[in-house]
Structure formats: structure tokens, C-alpha cells
Amino acid sequence: MAAQLIITNLYIQVVLIIFEYMRIVVDLHIHSCYSRASSEDMKFENIDRIASIKGIDVIGTGDFTHPKWREEMKKLIEENGLYRLEKGKTRFIISGEVCTTFKYKGKTRRIHHLIILPSIEIAEELSNRLSIYGDLKSDGRPNLSMTGAQLVEEVMEFGENCMVIPAHIWTPWFSLFGDKGGVDSIEECYEDQTPHICAIETGLSSDPPMNWRVSALDSYTLVSNSDSHSLLKIGREANIIEVKELSYNEIIKTIMFNKYKVETIEVDPAYGKYHWSGHRKCGISFPPKEAKKLKGICPICGKKMTKGVAERVEELADREEGEGPKDKQNFLRILPLIDLIAVALNKESFSNEVQKKYWEIVNELGNELKVLLEEPEENLKKVCGKELTEL
Ligand SMILES: [Zn+2]
Ligand SMILES: [Zn+2]
């Protein structure tokens, strides 16, 4: 009897463990058609459709500061702090990116921050507040004359479940640690508001092992997003978050307090434009050691090269390559399917053949992330062909 009870109990516990959590794919950072250099197709209907093809459960709305985009947002249906189209599957989480410009130690700093909010009403009120610091209508990612600390203070006025995440923290321009207008520590940007920062965005040009080399980042949750300005780039990086329910608060709480339940999906950092130091005009780039030997000067034209993310990490790192904190978040490395196909067919990603093959595969197998992460080899071979599967 007792044994039976124990077994039944065990059974219930196992069932609970299986059903307690679900893994959702979340891309917090994209841009709408109202952002500069963004595709006109970046509208809710299209984003909803592509996100489900890609296998994304929750996606940022992007650009909440833009009044015209907010008008579109107001047509969405709210559910547990997340939003969806009437017939849509994808949940939207309210997000937007702003650029703060301020002087620090005599140098102009331009830093991008991602903001995540629990409701359209707060998005509206916060936008009213932020409009004092810059023109919100001119760009979906507005420029604001304020410090990082001032921004966090304004955002946190609306509650502890609002969130500011420094965006793509290593890119040379417009980022927290960027060589061209960033700073050397989180505190230099967020000052007394630093305790409100819980997460950092790795960006396309860096991956978790690079960030692990800076011990000052150990306590932050690493998140990874696509920062997409066009439909097909949605979800090229994303997060897999284990949650108990599909709600705004659950997602935010997990990012804030439970970093080991956040896994990131990463492309190879060399995929990012700024991974190595180089001079784009002359078409060359170098790994950190060689760039250092060249003293950062382009060997072709003699001008200064842009310091790449790898070299910048090297500067701020206090751990050797391959080292890191004892406990680490999991991450998965993928190459976007469209690029995989391009390599297999030896054609450009935007060519008709590559696009055609992409849709064939996705229509047959469900969604892109499923194809890349879960699909057994046999199925892949059938649909994708042998060459592509081997990649
Ligand atoms: Zn940005
Ligand atoms: Zn962005």
C-alpha cells in the first residue's frame, strides 16, 4: 500500500514536472515600418504570419514610442499583458528601442536601450514623458537627449515590472560598451539606477562565451534578439524561456530572477557585421591580435579601422578565452535556414532559388526553428536534400 502510494506520488510529481513549465521562443527586439531603414512590410499582420512560420511564440512590437505605430497597437487584443491580432497566433510584448545621447567625461555617448512594458496604456504615458527629451515622430527608434540613468528613472516610474535592457551591448556604434560612444562599465551608463538593470542583449556580433569573459556581467541575464528591420530576419536570434504560463509578468519575472531558465539562440558572432576589427571601405578585417599589431590602422589606405566586437571584448575581459563563471546559461548556435540553403545551393540568400527552397522546407516541416533544432535527420534528408542536411 505504502509502496503504491509512493509510486502514485512519484507519478504525480513527474507529471507536474512535465506540465509545470513550457518552453516558449521569444524575440523581444524588432522594428516596425516606422523605424528608419526598416522595411515597409513590418506591419502586425505580416509579423504575425512570419513569426509563426519561424516558430516564435512571443515577439516584441518594437517602436512603442511612435504615435502611428501605437495606433496600430491599440487594435490588438490584450491577454495577460501580451497582445495578439484577433485571428493571430503570435503574442506581442510591448517593446521599443531608444537612443540616449549624453556627455560623459567630455565625450558624447550614444547608447541604445531596449524597453519592455506591460501595457499599451503605460506605453502611451511613458511616450508622453519621453517626448520632452526628443522627437518621437521622426523615427521608430528616437534619439533622446538624456542619460541612461534618467531613462531608467522615467521607465521605472511605471512599475517594477517595466524593464530596460542595454541593446546589442558590444556593437561599435550606439551601444553600452561600443568603442565609438559607449562606456566601460554598466555603472558609467546607469549610475544610481544600475540595480534596475537585470539583463543585457548580446547582439549579433557577440555570443555568451564572449560575454562570460567579463566577470562584471556575471549577474546579468543574457538575452538575444533579432533586432530585425525586415520580415525574413525575424528570429535570427531569440530566447527560449521556460515559463509556467504565457503572460507578461511570467516572462519578465523569469528574465529578472531566473536566468538559468533563459536559453539564447545565437548565430555565429562572425555573422555580425562588426565581429572583427576592420575597414569596410577597403573590404578587410582582422582578429584582435592582428588588429593590435597593425595598431588599428588599415594597411591598405592608412585610415583608422573600426574596432570590432572581438577586440573590444578583449579590452574589457578579465578572464581568458574559454573561461567563464561557474554557472552558465545554456545557448544554442544556429545558422539561419536561408543562409544554410544559400551555402548548399551556392547562391545568394536573396536569390529566387534560395527563397523558393526556403518556403518549400518550411511549408513541409512546420517552422524554421523546428527545422533547425528538432527535426530528425531522416525527415530533413527527405525534404531538404542530402547536401543541406549535412551542413
Ligand atoms: Zn540598436
Ligand atoms: Zn534595434
How far, in whole angstroms, is CA 144 from its chain's centroid? Answer: 21
pLDDT band at 224 (very low <50, low <70, confident <90, very high): very high
The Cα-based distances of 381 to 91, 115, 125, 325, 386 in angstroms read: 32, 42, 52, 39, 5
pLDDT band at 334 (very low <50, low <70, confident <90, very high): confident
Q: Where are the alpha helices (DSSP H) in 271-351?
A: 288-293, 309-316, 337-345
The ligand minimizing its distance to the Cα of 62 is 2
Distance 134 CA to ligand 2 centre (A): 17
What does the alpha-carbon distance between residue 321 and residue 212 come to, in Å, rounded to a whole number?
9
Amino acid letter, 4: Q
- Phi and psi, residue 359, nearest 5°: -70, -35
What secondary structure letter does DSSP report for 37? Answer: T
Per cent of the chain over pLDDT 90 is 70
Is 167 in contact with 206 (CB distance < 8 Å)? no
pLDDT for residue 391 = 65
Distance 104 CA to ligand 1 centre (A): 20
Q: What is the mean pLDDT of residues 344-351?
A: 85
User: Which residues line ion ligand 2, judged by CB < 5 Å?
Assistant: 97, 227
What does the alpha-carbon distance between residue 341 and residue 345 come to, in Å, rounded to a whole number?
6
pLDDT for residue 358 = 87
79, three cell numbers = 491577454
The ligand minimizing its distance to the Cα of 182 is 1
Amino acid letter, 220: Y
The answer on pLDDT for 5 being more than 80 is no
Distance 215 CA to ligand 1 centre (A): 24
Amino acid letter, 182: G
* Residue-range domains of the chain with CATH: 21-271 (3.20.20.140), 338-390 (no CATH)
Distance 31 CA to ligand 2 centre (A): 6
Distance 341 CA to ligand 1 centre (A): 28
What are the tens digits of pLDDT across the range 69-107? Answer: 999 999 999 999 999 999 999 999 999 999 999 999 999
CA-only gyration radius of the chain, Å: 22
Amino acid letter, 147: T
Helix (H) or strand (E) holding 357: helix 352-365
The answer on pLDDT for 390 being more than 70 is no
Length, in residues, of the chain? 391
Is 32 in contact with 66 (CB distance < 8 Å)? yes
DSSP labels, 298-333: -TTT-PBPBPPHHHHHHHH--S-TT---SS---EEE
What does the alpha-carbon distance between residue 59 and residue 51 come to, in Å, rounded to a whole number?
8
